[in-house]
Every structure is written in structure tokens, then in C-alpha cells.
Amino acid sequence: METSNSTAPSRNVRLDFFRGVALMIIFVNHIPFNPLYFYTPSRFGFSDAAEIFVFLSGFAAALAYGRCFERAGMWLGTLRILHRCGQIYLSHLALFFALAAICVFGNRWLGGEDYIHRLYLRYFFESTPDAIAALFSLRYVPNFFDILPMYFVILLWVPLVWSLSRIHAAVALGVSLLVYLGAWHFGWELPAEPAGDRPWFFNPFTWQLLFFTGFGLGAGWLPVPRAGRRLTTLCLAFVLVSIPLGHEPTYQSVAFLGAVRAHLEPWVDKSHLGLLRVMHFLALAYLMNRFVSWRPHWLEWSLPRWIARMGRQSLPVFLFSMALSYLAGMALDWRGREAFDIAWVNLAGLGLMLGVAGVLEWLDSKPWKAVAAGPAPVRFQPRPRGSAWRNVWAGQVALVFLAASPLLISFTNSEDSTRVPLVASAGQPGELVYQSNGEERIVWQDGI
């Protein structure tokens, strides 16, 4: 999930593109009750976008931090890791509070749905002091918010794994494999609820294996498999066989496939990263690498380049997409889930993600520096005429609106109603009630 400001040609365009694809799938999958969820690649195999994201994050981390460790040394490299961990931690908190606010506004404005309950945030609103303490210590991790804490923990292990690689790369990767096996054997997990026994949905003790597999490939510790017809056939056969076993309507309607799927369930478990999920993802990754190597020119087309921009801005786009997905679910609740509504909500969300990535990349280019480095401005500016006047006035109106936005918010909170103070006969002593939109609301009670 490393985001670089560089847009130089030396960047790995394939890496950025597939991270962008993962972000798009994650957005679609996280829209509540989104019918398109059943048509994403995750419904036709054992692995899904989470594997893409974690693996490529490990690969990108090797490219970013490996050079830092080699050039700046162990301690400065560790400092950079800690700086990134701080960004991930603050991003996780910001995302949580943003989505909590979205749920509150959704309950207040839309009605009909309890969005707080849908996102499993009831504990936070009912036991706020305890929930905040647990939230900041990562002992409270609701299911919708668990990928960033998992990434945070795994990133903390990078300096240790890198130091072990100085002994030998096999030692570093061997420790990662031992931790994975130990988590399965001893049941290592992290608690996600102070008031319950629910663990983190993404167990970092198991998911670190996929991260450090990507890290090992990015750092050159593991060789990239050579292209060969036999391996390609084997990977393709495995992916094709997994389709009916991953497609729920198919294996539920065929008794034999249902029995096989039930037998394989521990091996495809997502929370603990079942081994078949790892194998399925690696087979897909090999096939996609073969395809891109066979036709690399299509990455230069307009849409793939826009998708790659999302991959270059993975963390902010991920945060934006998570909040946007819940808003998209609210939009579907409001509009309905007919085919047209489903299409425009999903396409509009994906378009907004592409636009945000473009704006972020433009801001990363620091356009104000290019303007400052240009020729000196002319002292005398001719008076604008015609359409130029309209542009000036439009800009002024926008600035006035921005400056007055706090006042607009305060007027909105007044509920656009005339409050008529009165004392209700049924009210308690010291209680002041006002009438708004035909309803009686309590303002003060017991002298407060």
C-alpha cells in the first residue's frame, strides 16, 4: 500500500495497474447488498482482491524499503518503516471516525435503515469511553476496518525479516513460513472486541506469509517462475477446477461439488489464509504475468493508465473507496436496486475513484512550483471582458460560498423551523420544550 510521489517511467506499471484493479474490486465488494458482488472474480475461485492487495503491498514494500535499508542502513530504514506505520495507524482511525459519522448522518437523514447496526458499530456508540480506548489500542477492530490494522502489524515485522535476510534470505522466508504454520497449529490470533471473543478477521500471523512472499519476489529473494507450457497448463487447470468449487450457487446445487467444498473449507478459509487460497492466487498471478508479458502494449491504453494512477495513490484511494462504498450502499437503499440504479451507482463510484487518483497525482506534481518558476507576471492586467468576467464572478461566488460554509452548516442544524418556546403540560419541572415541524422537542431539563 506504499504510495510514491514519483511518476517516473522506472515505476512498475504492472504493479500499479493490478493494485488499481484490486481497489476497484474492493469498492464493488464493500458496497452493502450490492448485486454486482456476485459477479466479481472473488465469486469464481478461492482467492479475491484481498490477496492481490496484500501480495502487491509486499512487493511494493520490498522496492521502497529494500533500497532504503541498503542505502541508509538498518536504523534509518526502520525509522522510515515506523513513519509509514504511523500513517497507516492514523489513516485507520480517520477512516473509522469518518464512517461512524456517515452512519450517524445516514440514520438521521435517510431513515428506514440502521446503518450503525449494519456496520456493527453499536458497541462504539453504546460504550463510547471503553470503545475509544480499545480503538486506539487496536483491541477494537470491527470487521469493515480490519485490513489496515493487519497491514500495520505486518509492516512492523519488516525490519526483523530484513535483518534475518542478512543471514540468508532462506532464513527470513523460513521464519515467515514457521509463523504461518504456528498460527494454524497453536491458534494465534488477536482480539477484535473487548466485550467478546471475536478475533481480527484478517489474522496477521497467517496473512504475513503472502505479504512476505511478495516481498521476497520484489527483493529478489525468490526467483520469478520461468514461462513454460507445462507450468502454464498446470496453473490454468487449477484455476478452472476452482471455479465450480468457488461459485456458491454451483456447488450448492450439485451434491458432489458441495461435499468436496465442505471438505476443503478449512483450506480456503479467508480469515486464516487457507493454503488453497495462496495456491489459487499464485496460479492466477503467474497466468496474468504471462498474459501481460505476451501483450504488454495494452497497459499504455488510456483506461489502464488511469487505473494505474489509482495503484500509485493506493492508500488515499483505498480510504476514499471504503467511505464511498458505504455511501453507495446508502444510495442504493434510497434509489432501489433495479438494474439501472445498480449500474449508475457502481460506475459513478468507480469514476470518482479514478478522478480522485488523477487529482492526487496532479497535486503530487506540485503544479504551483511550475507556475512559480514561469515568467514574471505582467504588472498591468487588462480589464476582463465577456466570458472572462463570468469566470471572475464564478470564482468569487465559490470563495464566498466556501467562507460561509460554517454558517450554512449552522442553518442546516436549525432544521429550517421556527422554534416557539412553550411549557408542555406533560413536561417535567424545569423542562423547556419547543415545537418543530409539528413535534415537541426537549431543549433544557433540570436547569441544564
Per residue in 201-213, pLDDT (tens digit) is 999 999 999 999 9
> What proportion of the chain, given as a percentage, has pLDDT over 70?
80
**Mind listing the pLDDT tens digit for each residue in 78-89?**
999 999 999 999
The pLDDT value given to residue 195: 80
Q: According to the model, what pLDDT value does residue 31 have?
A: 94
Rounded Cα–Cα distance for residues 14 and 290 (Å):
12
| Helix extents (H) in 73-114 | 74-109
- Would residue 430 be called left, alpha or beta, if left means φ above 0 and alpha means ψ between -120 and 50 degrees? left
- The Cα 26–Cα 147 span in angstroms is 11
- pLDDT mean over 6-22: 76
Rounded to 5°, angle at Cα 46 from 42 and 47: 60
Residue 358 has pLDDT above 90, yes or no: yes
pLDDT at residue 227 above 90?
no
Average pLDDT, integer, range 217-244: 93
C-alpha to C-alpha distance for 345 and 340, rounded to whole angstroms: 9
**pLDDT digits over 88-100, tens only?**
999 999 999 999 9
Predicted pLDDT at 447: 34
Residue 152 has pLDDT above 90, yes or no: yes
User: Would you say residue 248 has pLDDT above 50?
Assistant: yes
Asked whether 2 and 311 are in contact (CB, 8 A), the reply is: no
Give the per-residue pLDDT at 376. 55
Contact 307, 17 (CB under 8 A): yes
**Mean pLDDT estimate for the chain:** 84
Q: What is the pLDDT of residue 391?
A: 56
Task: Looking at 8-73, list the stretches that DSSP marks H as alpha helix, in order from N- to C-terminal side.
Answer: 13-30, 49-72
CA 140 to chain centre: 18
Identify the pLDDT of residue 42: 85
Least confident residue range of 2-6, 172-176, 203-207, 334-338: 2-6
Q: Per-residue pLDDT for 422 more than 60? A: no
pLDDT at 60: 93
Residue 180 has a pLDDT of: 97
184 pLDDT band (50/70/90 cuts)? Answer: very high
Q: Kindly tell me if the per-residue pLDDT of 402 is higher than 60.
A: no
pLDDT at residue number 445: 36
More confident of the two residues 361 and 414 = 361
pLDDT of residue 410: 40
What does the pLDDT average to over 135-160? 94
Q: Which is more confidently placed, 10 or 26?
A: 26
Q: What pLDDT score was predicted for residue 293?
A: 84
CA distance 306 to 317: 13
Please give the pLDDT value at position 258: 93
pLDDT value at 441 more than 50: no
Q: pLDDT-based confidence at 144, cuts 50/70/90?
A: confident
Collapsed DSSP state (helix, strand, coil) of residue 372: helix
pLDDT above 80: residue 49: yes
Rounded to whole angstroms, the Cα distance separating 189 from 272 reads 9
Residue 110 pLDDT level (bands cut at 50, 70, 90): confident
Q: Of 140, 121, 117, 144, nearest to 130 (Cα)? A: 140
Q: Which among 18, 10, 20, 11 has a CA at the least distance from the CA of 313?
A: 20
pLDDT on residue 367: 84
- Residues 392-401: pLDDT tens digits? 555 556 555 5
Quick one: DSSP state of residue 271? T
- Contact status, residue 4 vs residue 312, Cβ threshold 8 Å: yes
pLDDT in tens, 267-282: 999 999 999 999 999 9
- Is 330 in contact with 99 (CB distance < 8 Å)? no
- List pLDDT tens digits, range 306-347: 999 999 999 999 999 999 999 999 999 988 889 999 999 999
Contact 292, 226 (CB under 8 A): no
What pLDDT sits at residue 151? 95
Mean pLDDT, residues 44-71 taken together: 92
